[in-house]
Structure 1
Amino acid sequence: MLDDEVLRVIHEHHEHCDGTGYPRQLSEAAIGRLSRVVCITNHFDGLCNPRDPRAGLSPHEALKQMFALHRSRFDDVMLKAFIRCMGVYPPGSLVQLEDDRYGLVLGMHPSQPLKPTLILYDSQVPKEEALIVDLEREPRLAIASALRPAQVPPEALDYLNPRQRITYYIDPRTRG
């Protein structure tokens, strides 16, 4: 038997705070707190991993879209906390550095959101031995832009393989 709060999340995780969700078009006050959290994470995952992978957004683009275009759908405090936890370049983001190299974001630093840890593509290094770089400790390196998978050369995308490398977790020490 499932806990009542779990059942509530199952029923409400597609409800939006502005009343545009489904199945009951509930308003923010009527949606459970955990349901509002799951709504945010479910929407984020849907933008990054749609049924048609070619339509997927980068994690960076998904957060940007959620904040800019769909903000009214979500609990404002929770959305801001989610964005703070995920960082400017969330884990799984494909990026291009200012020196034109490609990388995959593995983790972020709350104190340095523009300086995540990433794995770099290097055709001369076997992917099992790929270089992991902490941009916080490499002041000469910087991210030029976040990219969609379609913007990354196939050999670099295969090497970085974002879908097999990423696991999200929340560090309780980074509370916002």
Structure 2
Amino acid sequence: MNPLSLGALLHDVGQLLLPEGIASSPKLSKAGWILVKRHPLTGVQLLSKLPGIDPTVMKIVYQHHEQCHGRGYPKALKCDTISDLSKIVAIADVYDRLVNARDVKRGLAPHKALALMFAKKRKEFQGEYLETFIKMLGVYPPGTVCRFSSGDVGVVVSVDPANPLLPEVVIYDANIPKRDAMIYRLGEDIDLSITGILNPGE
């Protein structure tokens, strides 16, 4: 596995040593927040005990909460002192936290998370990396709950950057178990288009 993939997989490994419930708590006390902010260092300490861990991976684990404007943690590094791979994982991490928020009610639909990152958080990130991330996820990022021209509802499961308006989707049918649901590519397998976006709660 390449260092970027492994670093992304292990970036929050330090949270394993947090007191139970802290990592998933929707509201953190000041003391709880101090503990959470230690997890990059704790992660590196854990990985340093394992043989053969690439130092590049440990740097990702240590720096994935650093921000280009210098307000991240644990060292408040500026953009030119954060590793490129750490910058990439930081973008994915923030996107994941916006979509899969600790407080489920505050989770954003994927397209809204991308819009927020671009409009209000872009100074945290390397600009061209954020733009590439948004282009790769497309107009309807995976996980987007959609309404189709047929009136049916479904979810986007994958995106083709060459055809961002024609993702692969699963159409919801209460009579079909999840494991048996078919995946359709819009415009090829099924003649439907997306007419609206729904919040997951809807």
- TM-score interval, smaller chain: 0.7 to 0.9
Which stretches of structure 1, 4 residues or more, deviate above 6 A after TM superposition? Answer: none
| Residue 50 (str. 1) matches residue 101 (str. 2) | yes
Q: How much has 1:125 moved relative to structure 2?
A: 4.0
1:10-159 superposed matches below 5 A: 10-137=61-188, 140-151=191-202
* Matched residue type, 1:108: V
CA distance in 1, matches of 2:185, 2:76: 44
Percent identity at matched positions?
Answer: 38
Name stretches of at least 5 consecutive residues in structure 1 with no aligned partner: 152-176
Q: How much has 1:13 moved relative to structure 2?
A: 0.6
Kindly report the root-mean-square deviation, in angstroms, between the aligned alpha carbons of the 2 structures.
1.8
CA distance in 1, matches of 2:61, 2:70: 17
Greater C-alpha radius of gyration: 2
* Matched residue type, 1:31: I
Equivalent residue for 2:58?
7
* Matched residue type, 1:111: A
Contact 2:184 2:190 in 1 (8 A): no
Q: How much has 1:124 moved relative to structure 2?
A: 4.4
| Residue correspondences, number | 151
Contact 2:187 2:193 in 1 (8 A): no
Equivalent residue for 1:156?
none
TM-score by length of 2: 0.69
Question: Judging changes above 3 Å, is the alpha-carbon distance between structure 1 residues 134 and 8 closer, same or farther for their aligned structure 2 residues?
Answer: same
Name stretches of at least 5 consecutive residues in structure 2 with no aligned partner: 1-50
Contact 1:112 1:136 in 2 (8 A): no
CA distance in 2, matches of 1:125, 1:26: 50
Question: Is the partner of 1:114 in helix, strand or coil?
Answer: coil
CA distance in 1, matches of 2:195, 2:148: 5
Q: How much has 1:140 moved relative to structure 2?
A: 4.3
C-alpha distance after superposition, 1:1-56 (max 9, x if no partner): 43221121111110111112112211110111011011001101111111122211
Equivalent residue for 2:34?
none
**Larger RCO of the pair (alpha carbons < 8 Å, separation 6+):** 1
